[in-house]
Amino acid sequence: MSKQIHYSDEPIGDIRLVADFLPSPKELALRDDQTKITISLSTESVVFFKQAAKKHHTQYQKMIRELLDDYVARHKA
């Protein structure tokens, strides 16, 4: 760090509790076993997912995987 942090002894002020917004450990774990495949996608689709992933700070492969998993879950029932 190039800039030094200066602390003060000022009062913190009113403290408020925030509801827990983090997912449970079960939700963080991978849903199922994964199978690696090779798939050919249109350039337009890959560009779309890469841009969306960059915007949301995630991996584009993960977005595609979750989209397919949601599709299967909806059509499986």
The pTM (predicted TM-score) of the whole model is 0.58
Using DSSP's 3-state secondary structure scheme, residue 56 falls into coil
pLDDT tens-digit series, residues 11-69: 888 888 888 877 677 666 666 678 899 999 999 999 999 999 999 999 999 999 989 98
Using DSSP's 3-state secondary structure scheme, residue 61 falls into helix
pLDDT reported for residue 57: 92
Task: Report the alpha-carbon distance of residue 70 to residue 39 in Å, rounded.
Answer: 18
Using DSSP's 3-state secondary structure scheme, residue 47 falls into helix
pLDDT reported for residue 12: 81
